Structure 1
C-alpha cells in the first residue's frame, strides 16, 4: 500500500476529525448552518486523501475493497451535501409545485443525511478492517 506523505497524512487525519466534529455539531443542533459546511469540508479532505493512498499490489480482494471504500467516501460527501440541503433548502423550490412534489422532497432530503452517514461509516469500518487483514495475509505469504 502506497503510504501518504506527511502533509497528506495530516490532511487525512484533520479531515476525519473535522468531518466527525461537523456531523456531531449538526446532529446536536449546534450552529447547523455552519457545521454542515464543516462536515462537508472534512469529508472532502478525508476522501480525497484516502483516494491518494493507492494499493500497488496484485490482490483482487484488496482492489475490490478499495473500490468499496471509495463508495463510502462518496457517501460521506453526499451526506454532507444532504446536510447542507437540510439546512438551506436550495432544491426545495424545484419540488414545491405540488403537494406530491413537496412530499417527494421531504422523503428524499429531510434528515436522510443520517442514513447516508451511517451506511458510509459501516462500509468504511468494514473495508478498513478487511484491507488490514488482507495486507497482513499478503505479507505473511510473501515472507514464507
Structure 2
C-alpha cells in the first residue's frame, strides 16, 4: 500500500475528525438550530478531504482481493461524499425547488443522508479490517 506523507496523513485525519464533528453536531439541531447550517458544510468538507486522500492511497501489489477491497472502499468514499451533499440539501432544500413538489422531496430525499452514511461506514469498516488482514497475510508469505 502506498504510504501517505505527513501532510496527506494530517489532511486525512482532519477529514475524519470533521466528518465526526459535523455528523455529531447535526444531531444537536434541536438545541442549536443555527449550528446546523455550519455543521453540514463541515461534514461535507470532511467527507471530501477523507475520500480524496484515501483514494490517493493506492495499492501497488498483485493481490486481486486487495484490489477488490480498494474498489469497494472507493464506492464507500463516493457514498460519503453523496451523504455530505445530501446533508447540505437537507438543511438548504435545494432539490425541493427543482422537484417542485415538497411532498416528493420529503418522501424521497429529506434526511436520507443518514442511511447513505451508515452504508458507507459499514463498507469502510469492512474494507479497512479486511485490507489490514490481507496485508498481514501478504507479509507472512
* Matches of 1:66 and 1:73, distance apart in 2: 10
Tell me the equivalent position of 2:55.
Answer: 51
Tell me the equivalent position of 1:139.
Answer: 139
Tell me the equivalent position of 2:77.
Answer: 73
Tell me how far 1:93 sits from its aligned partner.
1.4
Tell me the equivalent position of 1:123.
Answer: 123
Gaps of 5+ in 2: none
Tell me the equivalent position of 1:83.
Answer: 87
Gaps of 5+ in 1: none
* Matches of 2:107 and 2:61, distance apart in 1: 43
TM superposition score normalised by structure 1: 0.92
* Matches of 1:69 and 1:76, distance apart in 2: 10
Q: Based on CA coordinates, which of the two structures has the bigger radius of gyration?
A: 1
Tell me the C-alpha RMSD between the 2 structures: 1.0
Tell me the equivalent position of 1:95.
Answer: 99
Report how many aligned residue pairs link the two structures.
137
- Alignment partner of 1:33 is 2:37: yes
Tell me the equivalent position of 1:8.
Answer: 8
TM superposition score normalised by structure 2: 0.93
* Matches of 1:44 and 1:84, distance apart in 2: 13
Tell me how far 1:43 sits from its aligned partner.
0.4
* Matches of 1:138 and 1:107, distance apart in 2: 47
